[in-house]
Amino acid sequence: MSTDTFVVDKIKKAFPDAIEEIIDFRGEQTVVINGKHLQKIVKLLRDDETLRFDFLTDICADDYLPETPRFAVNYHFYSTKTKAFVRLRVMVEDPDKGVDTLGELWRVATWLEMEVWDLMGINFKGNGALRRLFLPEDWQGHPLRKDYPLGYEEVQFSFNWREVGERKPHPQD
Amino acid sequence: MTVAAGSDTIQELTVEEMRAKVGTGMEIESEENMLLSMGPQHPSTHGVLRLLVELDGETVVNMAPDIGFLHTGVEKSMESKTYTKALVMTDRLDYLSPMGNNLAYVMAVEKLLGVECTPRGKVIRVILAELTRIQSHLVWLATHALDLAAMSVFLYCFREREYLLDVFEMVSGQRMMGSFFRPGGMWRDVPEEFVPAVEQFLDFFPSRIADYEALLKNNPIWLSRTKDIGYISGEDAVQWGLTGASLRGSGVDWDIRRAKPYLDYDKYDFEVPLSTDGDVYARYRCRMQEMHESMKIIRQALDRLPEGPVNIADRKIVPPPRSELGQSMEAVIHHFKLWTEGFKAPEGYVYHSIESPRGELGCYVRGDGGPKPARVHFRTPSYVNLASLPFLSKGTFIADVVAIIGSIDIVLGEIDR
C-alpha cells in the first residue's frame, strides 16, 4: 500500500463525507476535500503519528472560469519525517466567503494566504492580516483572475496624442 | 509619534495617520517608539525591499516587510505566452540563479507532458544547476560580507563568479539570462570547451574557498556580528516554512535533492550540510559547505557524462536541428508549427520542485489542452523565507537586521514576481 492511499484511508476514516474526489495525474495525487473540514483534516495530517505532514510548503489558487465552482485552492504538504507529499484541494465558489485560514496551524500560512488574496482575491476566514502585498493599496481587482485583462499600453501617435493621453492611467499624487 | 521622514525633517503624526501612511498593517506597540522606514533604496536590503521597523532606541520592537516594488506580473504574463516563450520570463525571477528557475519550470512542463529528459541532458542539467548554485552562493557571500563591512571578500567572490558567468556565456550565449533549458532538453549540446573549463574551475576553486574562509571563518569581527544572532529553532523554522540553508542551519535535514530526487540526484554521492546552532553563522557555514558538496556533485557528473543526444527525439516538442530543415519537409513543418503555435500540453496540473540555491523552488503548472499554460505559479523560496524576518529580528539591534537579511539570502525579483 503506497503512502497516497494511506492518506486517503486516514481521511476517510476520520471524516467519511469530506473527500469529494481523488485525482491521480502524473504520479501526483490530489485529494479534493470539502472546505468546511479543511482545518480539521489538515490538523489530522499534521498531528497523526503515522502521517506527520508537518511542512506546509505552498498555497496556490487557480481560476477555472467559466466552470463552477470557479476557484480552486491547492495546499501542498510535505512530511519532513517520511518525505511524503500530498496535495489537498478545496473548490471555492464564492471567493468572498473563501476558505478557513491555516494560520493557527502554521505561522507561515498567513503570509502565503496574503499572496493568494492579493492576486486571486480569495478570502481566508480568520486571517486578519490580509492586505495588498504586491499591488498598491488602492488597486482595484485581482490580476490573476481569468476575467482580469492582461492590459497593455495604448500607443500614442501625433494625430491622437492628446486623446489617448487623457485616458491613460496616471499615478496618483 | 515622531517619524524620520528624510534626512532632517521630523513630522508629528497621530498613530492612525501613521498607520494609514505606512500601509503595512503593522501593530505599533508604543507611541514612544520610533518608526523607521528602511528601504526600498537601501543597499543591504538586497534589492527593493522596504522594512517598516519600530525601534526602541536601537532595539527592534516590531517589523513588517513591505514588498511589491518589483512586481511585474510574471505569472499573469506567462499565461498569455506559449510554454516555450513563457520560459524566458522564468530567468528574471531569481536573477542570481536563472538556470535553476529554468529547471523548475521546464521540469514541471515535462511532467505535465509526460516526457523525460535524455541521460546526457540530465547530467548536463545537473552540472549547470550546481554551477548556478555555486555562482549564487558566491553573490550571497559577497553581499553578505559587504553588508557586514568585509569588503575584500566581495571583490574576490565576484572574480570567481565572473569565471562562472563566462562558462554560462559559452554554453548559452548569455552571461545570466540564458533560457538554456527547454522543455524536452536544452537549447543545444554544450561546446567541447565546456568540460575543460569546468574542470579548470574545479581545480582552482577549492583554494579560493579556502581564501574566503581565511578571511571570515575565525575573524573576530565576523564572529561577533554573526554568532548567536537571528536564532531560530528547528521547530520554528518548520512553522515558518523556511527552506534551503536557512532551514538546514537549524538542524532540519531537508533537501529536495534528497527528499524528492529529480535528475537522478539520488545516484550522486553528496552530503547535506547541517548545523544545529540556528544562527546567522550556522547558515553561513551551511552555505560554505554546500559549495564543496556542489563541486563533489559536478565532479561525479563529469565522470559519468554519457554521449548521446541532449534533447528527446519527439519532434512535436523539441524543434528539429537546423541540418534537417534543408532535407526534410516534415522537419520544416515541425519547425513552423513549434515556433508559431507551440506544442499542446494535456489538461491537468502538476507541481514540481527543485532545490534552488535559496531553498525549495516549486512550480505549479496547469495545462488546459492548449499551447499556453492556463496557470503558472512559483513557490519561491525567498518569498516564503521572508515571512520569518520579523520573527528573527525582534529584540535584536537594527545593525543585526542587516546580518539577518543577508543570512536568509533573499532575491527581490523572486519575491515580487
Q: Please determine, for residue B19, whether its predicted confidence score (pLDDT) is greater than 60.
A: no
Distance CA B393, CA A55 (A): 23
Q: Which residues pair with A136 in a beta bridge?
A: none
Confidence of residue A171 (pLDDT cuts 50, 70, 90): low
User: Dihedrals φ, ψ of A86, to 5°?
Assistant: -145, 145
Render pLDDT for A62-91 as a digit per residue (tens, 0 to 9): 998 888 888 999 999 988 888 888 889 999
Evaluate if pTM is beyond 0.80.
yes
Q: How far is CA B344 from CA B113, B317, B341, B372, B374, in A?
A: 9, 9, 9, 7, 12
User: Dihedrals φ, ψ of A65, to 5°?
Assistant: -50, 135
Q: Which amino acid is located at B9 in the chain?
A: T
Distance from CA of A73 to the nearest CA of B (A): 12
Render pLDDT for A112-164 as a digit per residue (tens, 0 to 9): 998 999 899 899 888 877 888 888 877 888 888 888 888 777 788 889 888 88
Q: Which of 52-111 (B) contact A at CB < 8 A?
A: 67-68, 71, 73, 75-77, 79-80, 111
Confidence of residue B1 (pLDDT cuts 50, 70, 90): very low
Please classify residue B2 by burial: count the beta carbons closer than 10 Å to its beta carbon, then call 0-12 exposed, 13-18 middle and 19+ buried.
middle
pLDDT mean over B88-113:
91
**Per-residue confidence (pLDDT) for residue B120, from 0 to 100:** 92
SS3 call for A43: helix
Q: Which of A24, A74, A78 to mutate to test the interface with B (most CBs of B within 10 A)?
A: A78
- Report which of A14, A65, A119 is spatially closest to residue B68, judged by C-alpha positions: A119
Q: How far is CA B360 from CA A57, A155, A172, B25, B284, in A?
A: 9, 41, 38, 28, 18
Cell numbers placing A69 = 465552482
Q: Which of 32-71 (A) contact B at CB < 8 A?
A: 54-58, 60, 62-63
**Per-residue confidence (pLDDT) for residue B326, from 0 to 100:** 87
Confidence of residue B234 (pLDDT cuts 50, 70, 90): confident
Q: How far is CA B115 from CA B109, B213, B256, B370, in A?
A: 9, 43, 21, 17
Distance from CA of B342 to the nearest CA of A (A): 20
pLDDT mean over B39-50:
80
Q: Please determine, for residue A7, whether its predicted confidence score (pLDDT) is greater than 50.
A: yes
Please classify residue B156 by burial: count the beta carbons closer than 10 Å to its beta carbon, then call 0-12 exposed, 13-18 middle and 19+ buried.
middle
**In this complex, which of A28, A108, A148 lies closest to B239 when CB atoms are compared?**
A108
CB A101 within 8 A of CB A111: no
**Per-residue confidence (pLDDT) for residue B17, from 0 to 100:** 62
**Per-residue confidence (pLDDT) for residue B20, from 0 to 100:** 56
Q: Is the ipTM of this complex over 0.90?
A: no
- Mean pLDDT (chain B, rounded): 87
Distance CA A146, CA A123 (A): 17
SS3 call for B250: coil
Render pLDDT for A35-45 as a digit per residue (tens, 0 to 9): 888 888 888 88
Q: Is B375 on the interface with A (CB under 8 A)?
A: yes
Cβ atoms within 10 Å of A129's Cβ, excluding its own: 17
Tell me whether residues A26 and B112 touch, CB distance under 8 A. Answer: yes
Please classify residue A11 by burial: count the beta carbons closer than 10 Å to its beta carbon, then call 0-12 exposed, 13-18 middle and 19+ buried.
buried
Distance from CA of A166 to the nearest CA of B (A): 24
**In this complex, which of A63, A74, A85 lies closest to B260 when CB atoms are compared?**
A85
Strand ranges for B122-221 from DSSP E? 181-182, 185-186
Q: Please determine, for residue A1, whether its predicted confidence score (pLDDT) is greater than 70.
A: no
Q: Please determine, for residue B53, whether its predicted confidence score (pLDDT) is greater than 50.
A: yes
Enter the DSSP assignment of B238. H
Q: Which residues from chain A sit within 8 angstroms of residue B375, using beta carbons?
A: 62-63, 144
Q: Which of A56, A106, A111 to mutate to test the interface with B (most CBs of B within 10 A)?
A: A111
Q: Which amino acid is located at B232 in the chain?
A: I
When mean pLDDT is compared across A6-20, B137-151, B260-274, the lowest value belongs to A6-20
Enter the DSSP assignment of A78. E
When mean pLDDT is compared across A48-62, B18-32, B267-281, B329-343, the lowest value belongs to B18-32
Distance from CA of B151 to the nearest CA of A (A): 33
